[in-house]
């Protein structure tokens, strides 16, 4: 019998999806998709959650994909730079093109980095960051603890952190409805990825448990839409 991952009265079982968005078609569909609303929300929530950021600095964007969030951040914080890390060459290709179109090559720099970082050269060369953010990375990771431990690894003492990700719906039907509501006119490959991402996402109680396990229980967690939560605060 096919396991749809949910039964009446039961919560939807998490169904992991591949970590990297490595396919060209997949990366292109993602890079060309309309993320205006959630990505604007990411920047607005970050501004509200972290009102005391220094005037200038370099932020680290983990799982930067095609750099839309990194570029929006760079526009909103004109005295900041961004280092974006992702291990999908296809995504980085679209990201580099977007950075070039925006003329922000001096401030937004993308690099092929797989998390957790193992490359000795990257380990040697990487400095610590005063701000680390990530959008929609957590649900892709094979081990969710990688996000929280890499944040601790690359954050300066007292650094700010801001994470936004999808929430797993309670039922398969709700997941399908969200795809209809928010990706009705998108290409099939993007609709498929969105559904898979919703099914791979974590519930809020699971995220809170991860934070406690990582020693980051002081970070704040909040649901900000019908499909997103945020985590923010200072890394000790």
Ligand X SMILES: C[S@@+](CC[C@H](N)C(=O)[O-])C[C@H]1O[C@@H](n2cnc3c(N)ncnc32)[C@H](O)[C@@H]1O
Residues found near ligand X in the complex (CB under 6 A): 19-21, 63-65, 68-69, 86-88, 91, 114-115, 135-137, 140-141
Lookup result for tokens 């919703």: 198
Q: How far is the CB of 158 from ligand X (least distance, A)?
A: 24
Q: Name the residue nearer to ligand X (CB basis): 16 or 236.
A: 16
3-12-231-36 Cα dihedral, nearest 10 degrees: 80
Q: How far is the CB of 88 from ligand X (least distance, A)?
A: 3
Q: Name the residue nearer to ligand X (CB basis): 55 or 73.
A: 73
Q: How many CB atoms lie within 10 A of CB 39?
A: 18
Task: Spell out the SS3 assignment of 107-142.
Answer: CEEEEECCCCCCCHHHHHHCCCEEEEEEECCHHHCC
- The residue among 220, 224, 222 whose CA lies nearest residue 37 is 224
Lookup result for tokens 């892709």: 140
Q: How far is the CB of 30 from ligand X (least distance, A)?
A: 7
Q: Name the residue nearer to ligand X (CB basis): 42 or 130.
A: 42
Q: How far is the CB of 7 from ligand X (least distance, A)?
A: 28
Q: Give the span between the Cα atoms of 160 and 137, in whole angstroms.
A: 17
Cβ–Cβ under 8 Å, residues 225 and 44:
no
Q: How many CB atoms lie within 10 A of CB 225?
A: 15
Q: Name the residue nearer to ligand X (CB basis): 5 or 23.
A: 23
Q: Name the residue nearer to ligand X (CB basis): 21 or 231.
A: 21
Q: How far is the CB of 69 from ligand X (least distance, A)?
A: 5
Q: Which residue is nearest to ligand X (CB)?
A: 65
CA distances in angstroms from 211 to 158, 191, 192, 204, listed in the order given = 16, 30, 29, 11
Lookup result for tokens 């977007």: 98
Q: Name the residue nearer to ligand X (CB basis): 2 or 70.
A: 70
Q: How far is the CB of 2 from ligand X (least distance, A)?
A: 26
């Amino acid at each position: 019998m096919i396991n749809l991952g949910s039964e009446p009265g039961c919560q939807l079982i998490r169904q992991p999806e591949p970590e990297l968005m490595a396919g060209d078609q997949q990366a292109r569909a993602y890079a060309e998709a309309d993320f205006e609303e959630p990505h604007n929300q990411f920047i607005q929530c970050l501004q509200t959650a972290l009102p005391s950021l220094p005037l200038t600095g370099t932020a680290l964007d983990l799982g930067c994909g095609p750099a839309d969030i990194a570029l929006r951040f760079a526009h909103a914080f004109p005295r900041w730079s961004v280092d974006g890390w992702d291990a999908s060459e296809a995504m980085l290709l679209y990201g580099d093109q977007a950075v070039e179109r925006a003329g922000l090559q001096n401030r937004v720099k993308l690099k092929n980095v797989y998390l957790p970082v193992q490359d000795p050269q990257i380990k040697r060369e990487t400095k610590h960051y005063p701000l680390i953010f990530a959008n929609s990375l957590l649900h892709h990771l094979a081990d969710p603890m990688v996000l929280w431990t890499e944040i601790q690894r690359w954050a300066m003492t007292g650094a700010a952190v801001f994470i936004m990700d999808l929430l797993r719906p309670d039922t398969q039907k709700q997941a399908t409805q969200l795809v209809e509501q928010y990706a009705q006119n998108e290409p099939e490959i993007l609709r498929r990825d969105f559904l898979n991402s919703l099914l791979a996402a974590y519930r809020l109680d699971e995220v809170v448990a991860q934070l406690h396990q990582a020693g980051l229980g002081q970070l704040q967690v909040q649901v900000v839409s019908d499909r997103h939560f945020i985590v923010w605060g200072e890394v000790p």
